[in-house]
Structure 1
Amino acid sequence: MKYFHISHTDLDGYTCQLIAKEFFPHGTYINANYGLEVKLSLDYVANKIEELQGENILIIISDLNLNYDEAKWLDDKIKELSNTNNIKLQLLDHHISGQKCADEFEWYYLDISRSATKIVYDYFNTHYIFTEKTQKWLAPLVNAVNAVDIWLDNEIYNFEFGKVCMHMMKYCNEINQFLFADESRNFRHYLLKEASNYIPFENGHIRLDNDFHTIKKNYLKITNQDDTLDNLVATKLVNMLGEKKEYLTIHYGSHKGLLTYTLGSISIVANEFLKHNSDFDFFADISKRGVASFRAKGNLDVSKLASKLANGGGHKNAAGCKFEDFKETIYYDDVKNFFQKKLNLLG
């Protein structure tokens, strides 16, 4: 069976996918926030299914309420795609704003009394059944996420533990979710599974809060040697960027550069990458709002480049600018094409 799972970008959304991975570890997982990201994610899944023939396909959408136009488009699209594949579509959500869609479409399940995590857990436990070993660690984690997500502060321990988990998901942005979507998601799932080990202990939420920094470092280490979190992140990202550098390469005249999207705070990573990749002259990163940051190592004056591109400026080896005509996207190829065209216009 081919499995596709679109979920939200918060604790509830990521835990939904952690649950599903117990049965579909090799499925296609996508995380989206509301608005453009949801529509593009639906398009992506539809396009992937169009490439298939004669497959059994399960699509789960969790912790996201679609507006009516999105739901109608998806319903029509799935009916069309069902001509060549056996498709089951199931949306599992708890946001009251989805009531109109829930009334209209049979695949749209809505229950405002439970978190999406609890709904997804019950769905899979009904249709597939967890092993006793899995239930032992997963059920308590589900209860903690459920308590904080729908604010059951009377469940004191679950609620407090859930708060720490929510904090963990908010502050684990070391791996970029656009460039390294699967690795970023795996990082979050690792943190949640590690967190589940603390639930049985008295004051487990406090112990987890104390250990959060170390747990992150343990995942980010490439070797057994310890270092600061910033240095561990830089080393891991430089290795990951190195594996994708051909795909991320851009050109400005005779100069070779690396382009990233929404990486943010690039100083350490960019300088480390340039130090270990002598054939690259500059490093550029663009934010969702079109703000570009540049780093170089002396072979190219990026302050002049930023000025030519969008009236930006800065220093010879560190500069920035803002593209007013940049359009937010979830696709790196769109960003690369946009930026390379800008460079090509400079000659």
Structure 2
Amino acid sequence: MESEKLRVGLLFGGQSGEHEVSITSAKAIASALSQNSRYDLQPFYIQKDGLWCNPTKSQAVLQQTQAEPSASSNSQVIQWQLPIEANQIDVWFPVLHGPNGEDGTVQGLLQLMQKPYVGNGVLASAVGMDKILMKSLFAQAGLAQVKYVALSRWQWQQEPESWGEYIETELGYPCFVKPSNLGSSVGISKVRDLAQLEVAIASAIGYDSRIIVEQGVTAREIECAVLGNDQPQASIVGEITYKSDFYDYETKYTAGMAELIIPANLPSEVIEAVQAMSVKAFQTLAGSGLARVDFFYVESTATVLINEINTLPGFTALSMYPKLWEYSGIPFADLCDRLIDLALEKSS
């Protein structure tokens, strides 16, 4: 019967630079869930000003039958007045990438609602989003990674020359400058000398008060997907290749600019190491549901270095996470179904 269906709240859009990517991911998930008689799908679109839209307006955004609703003039007053339909949701499926969605903030709200939700909890989401804390935990867990320097906006502004010299000595060039809390390669710069370093840091601290500078390595970029709660499983391993200077936002989300190679052509011992490290990274952050873990494989020394974990990876047609599981034997629709089961399992 219709009343016996599981009401799934698909949460997408959001207040981050990855708003459009979130909509694209949500369209793919909505298409999969709508074909499953088990679910009554209720979409909830969050505008860029923070206003939650009801399912009717949200469905229009998914179907592109109208433009996104305009920002409300008094959004600061009404953005926390959730649509009445939100009270009827049985399980939430957040597809919010980046800040205010992937960093534990929305997870905390859903936790307060006392409803199951797909994906990682507050802790794993917050730590996974913060590159400095993430790398500190990886180091304590014994996961090999590239050398890096972490500093705050205040530290840089007090002693830019000293920090510049220190980074040159510790890391050398090329190196990568990144905001600590931001996703999808936003605000990241590759630098090759001190002048570029200063410009890149000035740019990064415009996004976040804490930044990280990582040593550049000549390596292949390898990714692995993780699925599960207490007994997480790793997918087969994939590789990303591209012709641009590095895997920036444009390369990541523009068709034809990057190629996903699945499965990656790697020695069996390297594949096993990547899979084992993926599960260990997931468990180190107290992960649940899903994650994509990214690595560098330095072929000249046969070394595997963990780069980062993404606790809410993309679900677009170009996204590595669902493709890795598809090649591992779990089609897209089944993957969405499994994630909902894991959410219910976690809350039981």
Normalising to structure 2: TM-score of the pair?
A: 0.26
Greater percentage in helix: 1
Between 1 and 2, higher relative CO (CA 8 Å, sep ≥ 6) is seen in 2
Greater percentage in strand: 2
